[in-house]
Structures are given as structure tokens and as C-alpha cells.
Amino acid sequence: MNVEKNANSISVDVKSSYLEQESDPSKERYLFAYTITIKNDSNASARLLSRYWKITGGDGHEQEVEGDGVVGQHPYLTPEQEFTYTSAAMLDTPVGMMQGHYKMVNDDGERFEVTIPPFTLAVPKTLH
């Protein structure tokens, strides 16, 4: 679990897990699920517009991913509301890391970024 509270009072909580049945280490395919909860701790509503990810494998190889919304949605969060979703990432190493940000807009039209804290993707018992 990795929670970060941003200056604009949007918090991001991340949990990741290894999907052993979907992975194939002999082909350097390691699939990880991650579940993210975004909570609006402010007094103003906001909509998530887009996401940006930097995915780093254990070998240092980096991928950047940008896209519209999350899991096909643009959640609108009123004060104290949460939105939780699960997605996945494929690595070619048993250990990696993800980090990024969301672009959001509040009801006044002010756009801002919400940091997604770095989190580890690791096959169990790979790290101490």
C-alpha cells in the first residue's frame, strides 16, 4: 500500500499484486494487477481527464503510457467521494516500478495534476 496526499487534497492509494496464472516467466512475461483508489478530500468536485504512467522494469528499461481517463471512464469525484479501479501491467522482468500522474479539472475549470506515488511490482519472494 502506498498513499500520497496531493496539495489539491486528492489522495491516491495503490495496491499491487502478481498474477502468477497469467504470467509465463520462461517467456519473460510477468503480469501484475494494481488497484487504485482516488479520494477527493477537498471541498470542491473534480473530474479525472487523463493518466500518465512511467513503468520501469528491473533492467532499467522504461515505458511511458498516456491515455484518456482510466479504464474507459472519467470519474467525477464530489467532496469525500472515492473511485476505485483495477488495471494491469506486463513486465519482462520479475521486478519493476510504476509512477505517474492524473490530469484533473475542478468545477471552476482549473486544471491540475495529481501525483501517483511510485509503487513496486514484484513476484513474491523476489525482494527482501
Write the pLDDT tens digit of every residue in 9-55. Answer: 899 999 999 999 999 999 999 999 999 999 999 999 999 999 999 99
**Residue 23, domain extent:** 2-122
Identify whether 128 is part of a domain: no
6: confidence class by pLDDT, cuts 50, 70, 90: low
- If one counts the domains in the chain, the total is 1
Give the 3-state DSSP-derived string for the chain, with helices as H, strands as E and coil as C: CEEEECCCCEEEEEEEEECHHHCEHHHCEEEEEEEEEEEECCCCCEEEEEEEEEEEECCCCEEEEEEECECCECCEECCCCEEEEEEEEEECCCEEEEEEEEEEEECCCCEEEEEEEEEEEECCCCCC
Task: Output the pLDDT for position 125.
Answer: 84
Task: Output the pLDDT for position 1.
Answer: 45
Task: Output the pLDDT for position 5.
Answer: 47
pTM over 0.85: yes
CATH number of the domain where residue 113 is located: 2.60.40.1470
Identify whether 9 is part of a domain: yes
